[in-house]
Structure formats: structure tokens, C-alpha cells
Amino acid sequence: MMRAIHSSAIISPAQMTAIDRAAAGSGLDSFALMNAAGSAVGEIALRRFPQALRFVVLCGPGNNGGDGYIAARRMRASGACVALYALGDAPAAGGDAARARSACAMAPAAFDTFVPRSGDVIVDALFGAGFSRPVCEDVAVVMRKVTAMDLPVLSVDLPSGVDGRTGAVRGESFTAARTVTFVARKPGHLLLPGRMLCGALDVIDIGIPRRLVDAHAGNLRKNTPAVWGQEAMVLNAAVHKYKRGHLAVFSGGPLSTGAARLAASAGLASGAGLVTLASPELALQANAAHLTAVMLKAIDTAEALETWLDDRRISAFVLGPAFGDVEKARGFVTLLRDRRLVLDADGITAFRDDPAVLFDQFATGPTRLVMTPHDGEFARLFADLAQDPALSKIDRAIAAARRSHAVIVFKGADTVIADPDGRALVNANAPPWLATAGSGDVLAGMIGAHLAQGMPAFEAAAAGVWRHGDAGTLAGEGMTAETLVQAIRPLHA
């Protein structure tokens, strides 16, 4: 009986190896685990691809190939037509993969004799967790042929060619219709481009005890309401508006007010009790003409801001969307350094020449700064991390959070949220059409609303990102930033 487990845990290939060792150390039979894994693959192949005229199992030299041999045996036992091809050397004698190969009782043909044909379903068991270098040309040619013929691919653990730690493609990869992985998701299943290449993902329990998984899993999870739900204030009519927080959003000049208004209205729709747009005098008219529930306050200078900040009920701030004046942004951030702040867009770019000035101002006390960079903005503050090819997007976000003492929301279709303490989340509910003009402004306002309500910065960011993806899905294809705000769902008890 197959069960899906650890629904939000993400485990790196290195942690998986440690779990594997711990399982063996506790007396679990590693061949039994492979048997469970390979049998699950065979069963899923039979169930999900009834149209197959032939199952072609491509086995690599390691344990990923071992799973393939078990799957082949399982499918053959059910009467399916199965062809088996082996890449490279035979598996090391005495290991589980060698045992699986002999138990399979089918002689594999050499990999380079495989000719794909119409009606084939490919079971890709070439490389999984042990994928260590770019695929060679022989393999790449087969991958390209299979893709060109649009043959369904069921990948074991990961589409071969995808790096499980980073999600990067090394050389070439299969594009799977389905991927069957074991114990928990790996980063490569969620980070781009890996996520796009996995197809539907099955996470299978192969019998490793939960205590061993928990002992070796790190602080990385998929972003779901389970992560932040307990911290979220359940909003109802009985909660006084001041208890739901007061969010302030800084507007740009008279010709660039729209972004801040989007953030402000998103903040209100996300549950902030009060939202005030802090606007330059010259932009008051433009802003006033468009606002109803959002309040308006003229703030032009550092002095005016300093006076306003005496009101401690203003519980969070958003600075950056189309703000424009980077010098003014730097001055405002200094005044806001002991407050809860979402820094986005121009607010991030303002510190490109000396990021340490920003980081130092938030170095002590509780984590209260959330930054929401896209790739370009990230590179402006963290050039070395952005350029280091050895780092995954998760590694980059965590290192940036540690350095800046801020929660980092590293945006993209695979947004990563990282806390200075090393916790991280990968978000996966964003529809492709969410990448549209103004979408980032809406996100900044949503995170600001959660901060204003008093949620810890990490959970506030996670809740904002998840609800943003949820609203995008509800708004549907063809959405605009305005319809996105309208689609923000209230939090339910």
C-alpha cells in the first residue's frame, strides 16, 4: 500500500543519503527499500500509462538503475511488454542494484541500441540522487529523440539530467510526464527549471521510519498554510481595526503613484485594519482621486516622517514600489530601522552601492525587515551570491538572509523565502500568469499586511507569498494587478 508522506518537507540529496545510512544502520534492509521504490514505479507506470504498447526501461549504473530493474520485473509480471536497456558498466557487484538486475531475470540490451518507437512509454531510471556531471552526448541524443517524438516519460526519482540539489539541467534532460520520488520532495522538484521537467509528482513512502527522516531533514519546506497558519490572525468582524494593524505604504511622485496604490489596496484586502498611503505633496491629488478606503498622508521630508513615526500604532511599512528617489529612500529607511518594513523595488536598489549600510541597520533586535527582490534586484545587493554557480536558489536566499538580517523573498515562479536563522520555504502555487506588471507591488502590500497584524517576519512573508499565488490562481489567466487584488481571499478560521 503506497502512502504519500511528509507533505511539506523538502530533503536535499545529501540529507537523503544520510537518511539512507541511518536506515541501514538501524537494521532496515536496503534492498527492501529498493524493492518498495521500484515496485511503486512499476505499479504507477501500469496504472498511469495504460496506452503503452511497450515499456522501455532505461537503467543507469547506480541505484536509480536498480529501481528500474525492479520496476521492469514488476511490469513484466503483470504481462506488459517490457524492453530493458542498460547504460555503462554493470552495477557494482554485491550492491543492491546488481541484486535487482539479477532478480529481474531479463538481459538488458546496450543503451546505444535503443531505437524509440511510437507507442513506447519510457521509464527513465538513468540517474537520480547520484547524478554528478553533465550527461554525455549519447544520452543527450536519446533524450532529444524521445522529446521530439513526444513519448511519455516516467522518471524515477528525478528526470535524468536534472540536478536534485539545484533544479538545474546539466547538459540535457528528459521532460517527464510523471516523476516518482521517495520519502520527500527534493529541491530539484520545486526549483526551476527542474519543476517544469518533472510533470506530475508522486512522493512515495518506502518504509523509512519518520523519526529517521525528521532527524536528518533540515529547515527546508514547501510553502503551505500549515507552515504559517497558526501565526495568522483569523479575521472576523469582531476584531477591532487597530488590532488588525496599521500599514503605511510610501508613494512615488505624481507620475508614478499606481504601484504604491496597488500595494496599499492589496494590504487592505489582505486584512490590515488600516492602510495609509504616505505621499509626496505633489502626488496627493493623483492619489486622492483614486483612493477610498485607503487613507492619505502628506510625507515629503525626513522631518515629516520622523514626526509621523511618533504614532507607534503604525505597525508596518512598505517602501519601494515606484518610489523613485533613491536618496530619499535611504534616509527614510534609516528612520524606519526599528520598525517592521517591507523593502521592494527602488527601496532595494537604493542600497546597491553600499548594501552593508542597509544590513547594519537591521542587525540587532528581532527580524523585522522583509526584502522582496527579483533576480535583478537580488544581484544588486548580493552580486557574489548571484554569480556563484555552485549555489542553488535556496542556498542564495539563505545566505542573503543571514548576511542582511532580513527575511528574503527571492521572487520568481519558484519563489524562495528564507529567514536569517536558516529556515527556508519554496513556494509552488503561483500560476505562470502571475508574472505581470504590478504583481510585485501587490505582493509587497500583502506581506506588509501580515507584518502589520503582528505575524513574525518569516511567517508574514510566507503567508503573503502563498496568498498571492492563491489569488493569482483564482483571478485566472488574463488577470491584471487590479483583478489580482480583488481575488485575494480572506483567511478562514
Ligand X SMILES: NC(=O)C1=CN([C@@H]2O[C@H](COP(=O)(O)OP(=O)(O)OC[C@H]3O[C@@H](n4cnc5c(N)ncnc54)[C@H](OP(=O)(O)O)[C@@H]3O)[C@@H](O)[C@H]2O)[C@@H](O)CC1
Residues tagged in the binding site annotation: 63-67, 124, 128-134, 157, 160, 259, 374, 411-415, 440-441
Which of K ion, ligand X, none does residue 62 bind (CB under 5 to 8 Å by kind)?
ligand X
48 to 107, contacts with ligand X by CB under 6 A?
A: 60-67, 88
Angle between helices 457-475 and 439-452 (to 10 degrees): 140
Q: Report in angstroms how near the CB of residue 130 gets to K ion at its nearest.
A: 10
118 to 137, contacts with K ion by CB under 5 A?
A: 124, 128
Give Cα 198 distance to the centre of its chain.
Answer: 14
Report the residue number, 127 or 378, with the smaller CB distance to ligand X: 127
Encode burial over 375-392: b for 16+ CB neighbours within 10 A, e otherwise: eebbbbbbeebbeeeebb
Q: How many CB atoms lie within 10 A of CB 493?
A: 5
The region of 104-112, 123-131, 236-244, 475-483 touching ligand X under the rule CB under 6 A is: 123-131
Which of K ion, ligand X, none does residue 60 bind (CB under 5 to 8 Å by kind)?
ligand X
Report the residue number, 67 or 414, with the smaller CB distance to ligand X: 67
Q: Are 6 and 157 in contact (CB under 8 A)?
A: no
Report the residue number, 155 or 415, with the smaller CB distance to K ion: 155
Which of ligand X, K ion, none does residue 124 bind (CB under 5 to 8 Å by kind)?
K ion
Cα-trace Rg, the chain: 26
Under rule CB under 6 A, residue 240 binds ligand X? no
Report the residue number, 163 or 459, with the smaller CB distance to ligand X: 163
Which of ligand X, K ion, none does residue 37 bind (CB under 5 to 8 Å by kind)?
ligand X
| Of the candidates 165, 188, 195, 217, the residue with the CA atom closest to the CA atom of residue 9 | 217
The single residue among 12, 15, 63, 160 that binds K ion, judged by CB under 5 A, is: 160
User: Residue 95 carries which DSSP code?
Assistant: S
Q: Report in angstroms how near the CB of residue 7 gets to ligand X at its nearest.
A: 18
Q: Are 207 and 32 in contact (CB under 8 A)?
A: yes
Within 236-382, residue ranges assigned H as helices are 258-269, 284-288, 302-308, 326-335, 345-349, 355-361, 375-381
| 395 Cβ contact partners less than 8 Å away, ≥ 6 residues apart | none
Rounded Cα distance between 436 and 168, Å, is 24
Q: Report in angstroms how near the CB of residue 89 gets to ligand X at its nearest.
A: 8
The region of 32-40, 78-86, 104-112, 252-260 touching ligand X under the rule CB under 6 A is: 32-40
* Residues placed in the known binding site for K(+): 64, 124, 160
Q: Report in angstroms how near the CB of residue 38 gets to K ion at its nearest.
A: 12
| 401 Cβ contact partners less than 8 Å away, ≥ 6 residues apart | 407, 408, 418, 419, 420
User: Residue 428 carries which DSSP code?
Assistant: -
Under rule CB under 6 A, residue 176 binds ligand X? no
Report the residue number, 160 or 270, with the smaller CB distance to K ion: 160
Under rule CB under 6 A, residue 130 binds ligand X? yes
Report the residue number, 188 or 420, with the smaller CB distance to ligand X: 188
Under rule CB under 6 A, residue 129 binds ligand X? yes
Rounded Cα distance between 339 and 366, Å, is 10
User: Residue 136 carries which DSSP code?
Assistant: P
Report the residue number, 156 or 262, with the smaller CB distance to K ion: 156
Run of H or E including 342: strand 341-343
Give residues in contact with ligand X (CB under 6 A): 16, 20, 33-34, 37, 60-67, 88, 127-136, 156-157, 182, 206
Give residues in contact with K ion (CB under 5 A): 124, 128, 155-156, 160
